[in-house]
Each structure stands twice: as structure tokens, then as C-alpha cells.
Structure 1
Amino acid sequence: MNDGQVATNDLWAPDACTLPTAERPLRVAEFDQFFRDAVRGADRLSARHLRLDLAGDAQVEETARDLAARESSCCSFFAFAISRSGPDALTLDVRVSAAHVDVLDDLADRAASAAGSR
């Protein structure tokens, strides 16, 4: 993605996602940017549970809440929980059903790759 193009795949937006196809690359790009800007670490707590450690500023929290709300509205298989894990840190927990572990795999890979590129 270093050439400015956004790569998408069928895992990121399976048939259960109701986001219009034309909008999917834009959403992926939003998540990728968020991961690059905010993710400090990623832990896979189980096959169905990913925990992202985020920078704790107010803008990161606002962006995380906005993205989580929009993604939940079109991809109901995602469950997001945002909590403050310290005065300068946020935690974003992402859970999926067993049928969508592959989607979480892709999300975890993207988050880890973006965080590692900083």
C-alpha cells in the first residue's frame, strides 16, 4: 500500500457486511490510517478476540468510537468495546462470532502491519 492504493479482499468485507461495495475501499483506508496513527500494540487474546492498545488522546478516542459505530452498523458480526486502560492509553477490544474469525484475522494483520510500520 505504499503506492497510495488501498488493497481490499473478500475477508475484510464478507457477504454479511451491508456497506455498499463502492464504499468498502474507503472504509478500509480509514481503518488503515487509524491503525497507523493510533495503534501501539495488538494482542490476540483468542481466535475471536483482538485487543488493540491505542494512544490515549481525545482525538484517537473520538475516531475509535466513530469507526466502531459505523462498522457495527453495517457489519453486525463485529462487537467493539473501548475503554481507558490508563490516563494516556485506550484499549479497543474487537470480538467476532466463530463464523467470522477470518475477518478478525485480516483485521489483526492489518493493525499489526500498520503499527509495525511506524
Structure 2
Amino acid sequence: MWAPDACTLPTEERPLRVAEFDDLFASALLRLERVGPTQLRLALDGRAEVEATARDLTARESGCCSFFTFAFTRDDEGLVLDVTVPAVHVKVLDGLAARAVAAAPRAAS
């Protein structure tokens, strides 16, 4: 599990949250790019339901892991989700990137 001690999500709920991210990655991740040590850029399918799911999931994640910063933009390909963490939580971002690649290996860049 890639959740740090700073995460306040109850331990028994963490596998469910991981599964939600895995589902999002498997169904909607088009590409990922490590922009820098503390930033990951995820290109997602631009459908409205994908955006609604991603926004809901990241809002809930921010509620228990306040060190995450999630920013949404749109480009020609669809929805872009930038995930940023403080340097102390780089390993968490590494874990998120690894989950994304495992769930959607076609998206690895």
C-alpha cells in the first residue's frame, strides 16, 4: 500500500480507495508523465463521466491526505490531472505512478 502515515483514511478503507484509483487508471488513463520529482501529469479520457469520477475521487483523497494537490485542466486530447506533493511525500507519488502504470500499462511514457 502506498499510503503514508499522514493519511487519515481509516486503514480498512484504504484498499477500496486504491481500487477506485486503479479503476480510474484502467478505464481512462491515456498517458502519464513525471513532470518533476514532486509532480505527476495524468492525461485522462475527456468524457464528462471520467471528469466527474476523477474530481470526486481526488476531492475525497484531498480530504484524508491533505499533502496532495490536484489540478485539472483541459487540452486537445482531453482532461489533464496534475498531482503534486511536497518533497517529503515523493515516495507516495512514486507509488501512485506505479499503480497507474500497473493498471494501465499502455499509458506509460
TM-score class normalised by the smaller sequence: over 0.9
Which has the higher Rg, Structure 1 or Structure 2?
Answer: 1
Q: Distance in 1 between matches of 2:23 and 2:84?
A: 21
Q: Distance in 2 between matches of 1:109 and 1:50?
A: 11
Which residues of structure 1 form unaligned runs of 5+? 1-8
Aligned positions, number: 107
Corresponding residue number in structure 1 for 2:81: 92
Corresponding residue number in structure 1 for 2:41: 51
- Report the residue type matching 1:16 in the other structure: A
Stretches (4+) displaced over 6 A:
none
Q: Distance in 2 between matches of 1:115 and 1:78?
A: 22
Alignment of 1:1-118 (within 5 A): 9=1, 12-86=2-76, 89-116=78-105
Over the aligned positions, Cα root-mean-square deviation in angstroms equals: 1.3
Identity, % of aligned pairs? 61
Higher relative CO (CA 8 A, sep ≥ 6), structure 1 or 2? Answer: 2
Structure ranking higher in helix proportion: 2
